[in-house]
Amino acid sequence: MHQTDTSIFEKLKAEFSPIELDVQNESHMHGGNALDSHYKVIIVSADFEGKRLLARHRLVNACLAEELENQVHALAIHTYTESEWMQADNKAPLSPNCMGGSKAE
């Protein structure tokens, strides 16, 4: 795990006390040399009960403001309540293949 991976994981764990937390470094799927530039997070937490998607994403973005301001270029956020996660069969959507930068050529 890279330092950024660990930082993201620990911050989300402390902030949301998740039932499920998965931090995926997807930088290898994108152009460029950055090792810590693209992430996908899947968070299942009671903290999301009664909150709309935008409010959930704002909470996650606020928690990771330092990383987003510095090394992280893109963050795919998948937030669920426990019942939503069960309805989704404990699976988040797959990330699409990158078509930007040098990958599109």
Q: For position 50, what pLDDT does the model report?
A: 98
β-pairing verdict for 74-80 and 38-44: parallel
pLDDT at 101 over 70: no
pLDDT category at 103 given cuts 50, 70, 90 is: very low
61 occurs within a structural domain: yes
The pTM for the full model equals 0.84
Range of the domain at 44: 3-87
In this structure, which amino acid lies at residue 88? A
Q: How far apart (Å, rounded) are the C-alpha atoms in residues 26 and 29?
A: 6
Cβ–Cβ under 8 Å, residues 27 and 36: yes
- Number of folded domains that form the chain: 1
17 occurs within a structural domain: yes
76 occurs within a structural domain: yes
92 occurs within a structural domain: no
The tens digit of pLDDT for each residue in 3-61 reads 888 999 999 999 999 999 999 988 766 565 557 678 899 999 999 999 999 999 999 99
99 occurs within a structural domain: no
| Both structure tokens of 27 | 């930088």
73 occurs within a structural domain: yes
> What SS3 state is found at 15?
helix
Q: How far apart (Å, rounded) are the C-alpha atoms in residues 62 and 59?
A: 5
Q: How far apart (Å, rounded) are the C-alpha atoms in residues 47 and 100?
A: 34
94 occurs within a structural domain: no
CATH number, domain containing residue 70: 3.30.300.90
62 occurs within a structural domain: yes
Q: For position 57, what pLDDT does the model report?
A: 98
Residue 55 exposure: Cα atoms within 13 Å on the Cβ side: 6
Cβ–Cβ under 8 Å, residues 60 and 79: yes
